[in-house]
Structure 1
Amino acid sequence: MQRAPRRGATRPPAARTIIVTAVLALVAVYFLVPVYWVVVAASKSTEDLFTTNGFWFAGFQLFENIGQVFAFDDGLFVRWFLNSLLYAGGGALVATYLAAAGGYALAVYDFRGRNLVFGLVLGGVLVPGTATALPLFLMFSNMGLTDSYLGVLLPSFVSPFGFFLCRIFAGAVVPASLVESARLDGAGELRIFHTFGLRMMVPALVTVFLFQFVGIWNNYLLPLIMLADEQLYPITVGLVNWRAQTDRLPEFYELTTAGVLVSVVPLIVLMVVLQRFWRGGLTEGSVKG
Structure 2
Amino acid sequence: MGTSAPARPPRRRAPSPLRPPRARWGRGARRPRRSPALTLVTGLALLYSLVPLVWLFVNATKSQESLLGTFGLWFGPEFSLFDNVSATLAYGDGVFVRWLLNTVLYVVLGAGGATLLAVLGGYALARFDFPGRRAVFAAVLGAAAVPGTALAVPTFLMFSRLGLTDTPWAVIVPSLISPFGLYLMWVFAAQAVPAELLEAARIDGSGELRTFLTVALPLLAPGTATVLLFTMVATWNNYFLPLIMIRDPDWFPLTVGLNSWNAQAATAGGEPVFHLVITGSFLTIVPLIAAFLLLQRYWRSGLTAGSLKG
CA deviation after TM superposition for structure 1 residue 272, in Å? 1.1
User: What is the TM-score when the length of structure 2 is the normalising length?
Assistant: 0.85
CA deviation after TM superposition for structure 1 residue 86, in Å? 1.1
Could you tell me how far apart the structure 2 residues matched to 1:88 and 1:177 are?
Answer: 36
Match of 2:145 in 1: 126
Q: Does 1:211 align with 2:243?
A: no
Provide, for residues 44-86 of structure 1, a one-character-per-residue CA deviation record: whole Å limited to 9, x for no partner. Answer: 1222212111111113211111110001122100010111111
Matches within 5 A, 1:107-146: 107-146=126-165
Match of 1:223 among 219, 226, 242: 242
Match of 1:178 among 169, 173, 197: 197
Does 162-171 or 42-51 show the bigger shift?
42-51
Provide, for residues 203-223 of structure 1, a one-character-per-residue CA deviation record: whole Å limited to 9, x for no partner. Answer: 000000000000000010000
CA deviation after TM superposition for structure 1 residue 243, in Å? 0.3
* Contact 1:243–1:252 (Cα < 8 Å) also in 2: yes
CA deviation after TM superposition for structure 1 residue 250, in Å? 4.6
Could you tell me how far apart the structure 2 residues matched to 1:15 and 1:278 are?
Answer: 27
Tell me which amino acid in the other structure corresponds to 2:219: M
Match of 2:105 in 1: 86
Match of 1:257 in 2: 278
CA deviation after TM superposition for structure 1 residue 15, in Å? 3.3
User: What is the TM-score when the length of structure 1 is the normalising length?
Assistant: 0.91
Tell me which amino acid in the other structure corresponds to 1:133: A
Could you tell me how far apart the structure 2 residues matched to 1:282 and 1:125 are?
Answer: 21
Where relative contact order (Cα < 8 A, 6+ residues apart) is larger, the structure is 1
Kindly indicate which of the two structures has a greater share of residues assigned to helix: 1
Match of 1:168 among 165, 170, 187: 187
SS of the residue aligned with 1:148?
Answer: coil
Match of 2:5 in 1: none
CA deviation after TM superposition for structure 1 residue 282, in Å? 3.3
Identity %: 50
Could you tell me how far apart the structure 1 residues matched to 2:245 and 2:107 are?
Answer: 16
Match of 1:240 among 252, 259, 263: 259
Tell me which amino acid in the other structure corresponds to 1:199: P
Provide, for residues 208-266 of structure 1, a one-character-per-residue CA deviation record: whole Å limited to 9, x for no partner. Answer: 00000000000100001111111101000000000001123353111101100000000
Match of 1:75 in 2: 94
What runs of 5+ residues in structure 1 fail to find an aligned partner? 1-10
Tell me which amino acid in the other structure corresponds to 1:260: S
What runs of 5+ residues in structure 2 fail to find an aligned partner? 1-29
* Contact 1:106–1:114 (Cα < 8 Å) also in 2: yes
* Contact 1:91–1:157 (Cα < 8 Å) also in 2: yes
Match of 1:4 in 2: none
Match of 2:38 in 1: 20
Match of 2:69 among 23, 37, 51: 51
Match of 2:172 in 1: 153
Displacement over 6 Å in runs of 4+: none
Could you tell me how far apart the structure 1 residues matched to 2:195 and 2:130 are?
Answer: 15
Match of 1:6 in 2: none
Does 242-251 or 205-214 show the bigger shift?
242-251
Does 131-140 or 172-181 show the bigger shift?
172-181
Could you tell me how far apart the structure 1 residues matched to 2:200 and 2:137 are?
Answer: 27
Q: Is the alpha carbon distance of 1:83 and 1:263 closer, same or farther for their aligned partners in structure 2, counting shifts above 3 Å?
A: same
Match of 1:97 in 2: 116
* Contact 1:46–1:250 (Cα < 8 Å) also in 2: no
Tell me which amino acid in the other structure corresponds to 1:125: A
Does 279-288 or 80-89 show the bigger shift?
279-288
CA deviation after TM superposition for structure 1 residue 19, in Å? 4.0
Q: Is the alpha carbon distance of 1:281 and 1:12 closer, same or farther for their aligned partners in structure 2, counting shifts above 3 Å?
A: closer
Match of 2:13 in 1: none
Tell me which amino acid in the other structure corresponds to 1:34: P
Number of equivalences: 278
Match of 1:267 among 283, 288, 296: 288
